[in-house]
Structure 1
Amino acid sequence: MGRVGADTWGQRVLSELRAEDLTVVGVADPDAPTALMTKERSTPRCGIPQWPASWLAFAVVCP
């Protein structure tokens, strides 16, 4: 389950998922941009995920 914004990045994510033969259902959120998560590698065995705040599309995913 995930969520994307109705922006260029969101369309790219959906396109890549469909290219992998995954079924994509739903509508992109026009009110929230697609987020980009990065992972800072502090040690070879440990990574620290980082992403911006709650106004991004993935932050409002509801089951």
Structure 2
Amino acid sequence: MRVVDLTDIAWRKSSYSNQDGGNCLEVADDLPLVPVRDSKVPDGPALVFPAAAWAAFVDGIK
């Protein structure tokens, strides 16, 4: 298992998020690994994917 330091990551909330918060996720862009977390629990765990795998996932759900 690899530990990734996410301390200074610039997170971006989903564009589908609304003003009330809702069920959203946040991602960090322009990295070789893409961390993904629940926006309601910013200090909680994050899943980290290789950028190519995340891109394939996003393309698959479009």
Q: TM-score, normalised by structure 2?
A: 0.22
Structure with the higher fraction of residues in helix conformation:
1
> Which has more radius of gyration?
1
Structure with the higher fraction of residues in strand conformation:
2
Instruction: Specify which structure has the bigger relative contact order, considering alpha-carbon pairs within 8 angstroms and separated by 6 or more residues.
Output: 1
